[in-house]
Structure 1
């Protein structure tokens, strides 16, 4: 059923080309797939449900022409016997619809089949005209034109050998680079290393932290001193009359002094350590988020770096560290000070009884150590499971509209619930096994009591110890034993803090291959925009066995409007990604103005480039803030500049029509706006930085024909004086491009102007035929 649905959606073939076929992980939000591949999988997901009502909201907007034709035919077949409601801006996808409804400003203005609406010469006719592609084949001035304008690929055999050789020579180099970038990520830190690194982060609060540590130690030393005073108080009851009254009054006053001391020491301890812990939490969260933003795009392609895991680092991991560095640290230091000082006092006062009681200490420490080891293993087993559940929760809530549309709330909940079963099973197992040494340790405390009373009574009867000495040693030993149990009660906190510290430190010390923090590299103030790909091979770091670009050669001269067309997954978006230097090429070079971008400063390179993606992302801010977000550092923007960019993107009139104008909040991911409105704001965000190189990855795919025409005209005018590289499946948007590259199998298969490529009557010509809207194609 799955394969049939994917074949219907034209997704089966590209899925079978993946290393793990249908078991291939697509990454968070499908980041490892192209837009067309994601859309085809989404179509298969809808078809497999076999619904009676099928809703298609621009369901083929991200597909190439060939795939669109196949999927459209498949959807036509799938539509039989069910009601289908389609939203489409690319009119070629709905020309065979039973009924086409034209809506303008919330009102139905026309309805009918394609031919009827075209004959009316109304709004639909004008929409169709804007998407019409020129198909006149001009006379060939040269019979060898196709040889001049088409960049043919190498012989398959020669190209295959070249690619394999290039891959082998460069795979080791790239793997070495990846290992170098991840060298700290897999480092096994010792506990002492982690303590030192966290202490360095907390260094600004060293003074106040020292006060907290000292107060904790002094607070812990009170208990053995109190044991001495307590023994004197017990000794006082052997007296009578005024002597008893005077001594009991004195020792009662000493108890009062100790109470006041303990009160102030606890306040100092908790305030200082609490403040230090709060500043540590703030600093770790801040630098951790900065470190996440520092990482290159390949970092986020990895399965264990999804949103759930990364937000876990920022929330629970930091909490575990800060709790251990705050009040828990004070309690542990207090307990340790009590244990050592109690042992010292007991040895000084009565070494015989102390040494006998200390014979149980190795058993006590051993049982607690065994518990620590068991808890460490439990923490390792459950950490991965909880990270994955966090990913499921994040993706489920983040895509709640899709979850609701698929009515799979219960399925998602069951999946989340079932993932908790393994940690629960491990928890029960651990609770039973770890409780045995814990119970044994608590049992030993009472055995120490019994031994202390028994042996102490013998020493008392032999007149070696008096009542004061016996009670001093007994109180010190018992207090130390109980505090040792309290110290080991914090073992789970220590374990969690250790793993959390390892995760945070590995993130902070991870140096990406493409590092935006590096200040070296060549910097230029201006660029002309001469972009060139020379024999570029590339595969994504998470898919070493799947080549994407296979010796790509491509050149865009300064000021040219270049377009990339081809089937989904052929490498068009990859070219955009490599131009932005989101990834490192496997081999070959990419140059801008004859300067290798691998040697350029990353931030400086990206300052000259603006990107409008296929799926524009807006932040939960105002429209104005979203647009200004695209400004360069130190770029001063006025309201006039803002409005100019919005007029060029055909969004100004819409914005000023809103109640709050430019101060209108767009909601999470821009949910308060339509797809076309979001895309136009994204275009304005790109134009406001006045880039020298403009990258458009299906930048007008979500726009209606009227808006597309205006925006395309704005983009055409904005392209003057700058190099523009555009990906388009709607060929009417790029038919006036200076040069069009037809990408196939990771190489440039054809190149030339629209008319030249039509004359060749190759791949591009067939793509145009698929989108042709004239009456002959009805």
Structure 2
């Protein structure tokens, strides 16, 4: 994702966001044009008065002076009103564009696949959707405005100055491209430094998030100082990068100031020489000086805007990098809805390996599951048990073979309809920050209060919920920290009860619980699995004795399958695993 793009490419990608607000942009630029009127008219008024005073002092009446003063006062009022609308309307437009970009980025996050999140730090993504887009408001407003005003002033000034003295004008305007060429090195280095600063900001965000989510582990090991030292390394690197960016910015500003001074000297010396030779009169010379001062002020504004411009370009570039990240799992062109699901599932010569992996995790898997069956999957760690189940909702796509639900290839089904028919209960329960009711309703956002309560009762969660201070409206805390493991698991089961899917995946749902919590959760799971096609990844083998089919999965694929009694009689791998886990359970019960 770290590719350097040219500014013109980034601006082309950014321009479509103006389309919705093109009339606001037009009004903003019109008001910006009005704000330049005073700057452009004042030198002409002074030129007129000076020439009148020197050539026809008697003709310079009080009426003319007051009329010009009133005219200029009117322009100042127009300037003030236009400036108000530019500051207000322009900033609102910039904020709306930033909001649109943040919406699109968040929406794209939802489409990206599991593999993307496996290889990307969440803190970096948070940085892209917050910090990187903060400068977009100012950039979206000021970029067209500043360049429009500068272009207008330079064009009008060139025409007026050319009419006064074309040769002096040409000499002065030659300095502008020379200044742009001289500052190009610093502009390029500023852009690179700002991007490194954004990346490091993401690293700091990721480190802070990691530390705060694991703060209980940090404190339990008394490793606060270690964490502070780790954070200090990243923080000092951020300081180093920022210092470097400001060094380039200082060089950029120093170079432009040199050219600023050179052009001022050139105007004064050159204009004086032309005035001595009679090629320019004093009134025109004063107007010339004022216009050049206005031009240099515009250039200084562009220089000051350069930092903001480079920050905006960096934000747009990092936005585009994520937006250009293609989702690996997408709907086929003629994908169909999955409806009226029976629950028959077939694996036909399925193989799978991760995109960044060399070896296959699963190879040539054949499996037929009839609706309503409970399939338990056991085997050593790393044998692909979870991966096998994650292929069903297409969290990953098979690299060979196919998976069918009710005879339909899941790749030919719409992702949303496929996943809406599958419920998952995992070992690592994730509860969103909010209330118990909101977390249960995540299974069906339009559910009634009665439906939520029924689901909680089915999951064995209603009784403990009613003992909480706010009952169903109790705040669960960040990631559900205010609840025990068993309580969180029962809420996650209630969530699936509410969803009511025909296909279930239970990924070691009880392995992290104590015996009492496991017993309660196991009872809830037995109710949940009734009448549903269920895949159970088991850690404690004593909990799957009633499974219809038990699959023993190893690096070589499915090496054994059958009922508990059949596999025990065969005295193979399952028999050995079962004996080992039973002995461990007996030891745990003794303690």
Query: Do the two structures share a fold, i.e. TM-score over 0.5?
Result: yes
Equivalent in 155, 176, 182 of residue 367 of structure 1: 182
Instruction: Find the aligned partners of 2:379 and 2:24 in 1 and give their Cα distance.
Output: 63
Determine the C-alpha separation between the residues in 1 that align with 2:480 and 2:556. 34
Deviation at 1:707, TM superposition (A): 4.0
Q: Deviations over 1:672-723 (max 9, x none)?
A: 1011100110011011111111110011224443443343233223322211
Residue 499 (structure 2) pairs with residue 689 (structure 1) = yes
- Of 329, 337, 340, 2:155 maps to 340
For residues 617 and 546 of structure 1, what CA distance do their matches in structure 2 show?
Answer: 31
Q: Deviations over 1:1-46 (max 9, x none)?
A: xxxxxxxxxxxxxxxxxxxxxxxxxxxxxxxxxxxxxxxxxxxxxx
- CA gap of 1:618–1:426, structure 2 versus 1, over 3 A, is closer
Checking the alignment, whether the CA contact within 8 Å between 1:220 and 1:333 is kept in structure 2 is no
User: 2:567 aligns to what SS in structure 1?
Assistant: helix
What corresponds to 1:314 in structure 2? 129
Aligned pairs, number: 587
Match of 1:454 in 2: 269
Distance across 1 between alignment mates of 2:38 and 2:349: 75
Residue 224 of structure 1 pairs with residue 37 of structure 2: no
Deviation at 1:429, TM superposition (A): 4.4
Contact 1:590 1:596 (8 Å CA) reproduced: yes
Q: How does 1:71-470 map to 2 (within 5 A)?
A: 189-235=5-51, 238=54, 243=60, 245-302=62-119, 305-327=120-142, 329-432=144-247, 435-470=250-285
Match of 2:337 in 1: 523
What's the secondary structure of 2:130's corresponding residue?
helix
The alpha carbon displacement at 1:766 in A equals 1.8
Distance 1:279 1:299, change over 3 A: same
Alpha-carbon offset, residue 187 of structure 1? 7.4
Q: Supply the distance in 1 between the matched residues of 2:289 and 2:521 (Cα, whole angstroms).
A: 87
Alignment-derived partner of residue 626 in structure 1: 439
Q: 1:446 to 1:394 in 2, by over 3 A?
A: same
Specify the SS of the correspondent of 2:192: helix
Looking at structure 1, the residues matched to 203 and 584 of structure 2 have their Cα atoms a distance apart, in angstroms, of 52
2-structure distance, mates of 1:190, 1:520: 37
Other structure's SS at 1:536 match: strand
Residue of structure 1 equivalent to 2:543:
733
Mapped to 1, the partners of 2:134 and 2:295 lie a distance apart of 30
Counterpart residue number, 1:164: none
Whether the 8 Å CA contact 1:288–1:314 is kept in 2: the answer is: yes
Q: Matches of residues 481-496 of structure 1 in structure 2 within 5 Å?
A: 481-496=296-311
C-alpha distance in 2, partners of 1:636/1:389?
Answer: 38
Structure with bigger helix share is: 2
2:385 equivalent among 560, 572, 575: 572
Given that 1:696 and 1:725 are in contact with CA atoms closer than 8 Å, whether structure 2 keeps it comes out as: yes
8 A contact 2:183–2:255 mirrored in 1: no
Displacement after TM superposition at 1:657 (Å): 1.6
Cα distance in 2 for residues equivalent to 1:598 and 1:378: 44
* Cα RMSD for the two superposed structures: 2.6
Task: Identify the residue that residue 532 of structure 2 maps to in structure 1.
Answer: 722
Among candidates 407, 411, 415, match of residue 594 of structure 1:
407
* Gap regions ≥5 residues in structure 2: none
Relative distance call for 1:233 and 1:306 in structure 2 (3 A) is farther
Cross-structure match for 1:701: 511
Following TM superposition, by how much is the alpha carbon of 1:435 offset from its aligned partner in structure 2, in angstroms?
Answer: 3.3
Q: CA deviation at 1:515?
A: 2.3
> How far, CA to CA, are the matches of 2:298 and 2:447 in structure 1?
63
Match of 1:614 among 427, 449, 456: 427
Pair 1:512 & 2:336 matched: no
Q: What TM-score does the superposition give when structure 1 sets the normalisation length?
A: 0.71
1:708-745 deviations in Å (ceiling 9; x for gaps): 33432332233222111111111221111111111111
Question: Is the CA contact (8 Å cut-off) linking 1:559 and 1:720 kept in structure 2?
Answer: yes
In the alignment, the residues of structure 2 paired with residue 259 and residue 439 of structure 1 have an alpha-carbon distance, to the nearest angstrom, of 33
- Superposed CA offset, 1:159-202 (max 9, x none): xxxxxxxxxxxxxxxxxxxxxxxxxx687654334334323223
> Contact 2:249–2:307 at 8 Å: present in 1 too?
no
Looking at structure 2, the residues matched to 654 and 437 of structure 1 have their Cα atoms a distance apart, in angstroms, of: 65
**1:572: how far off?**
0.9
Q: How far apart are 1:268 and its partner, in Å?
A: 1.7
Relative to structure 1, the CA distance from residue 520 to residue 509 in structure 2 (aligned partners, 3 Å threshold; closer, same or farther) is: farther
Q: Does 1:657 align with 2:467?
A: yes
Do the aligned partners of 1:220 and 1:336 also contact (CA within 8 Å) in 2?
no
**Retained in 2: the 8 A contact 1:237–1:244?**
no
Question: Normalising to structure 2: TM-score of the pair?
Answer: 0.92
8 Å CA contact 1:523–1:600 kept in 2: the answer is yes
| Distance in 2 of aligned mates of 1:502 and 1:327 | 18
- Say which is worse superposed, 678-687 or 587-596, in terms of deviation: 587-596
Q: SS at the partner of 1:202?
A: helix
Q: Does 1:547 align with 2:363?
A: no
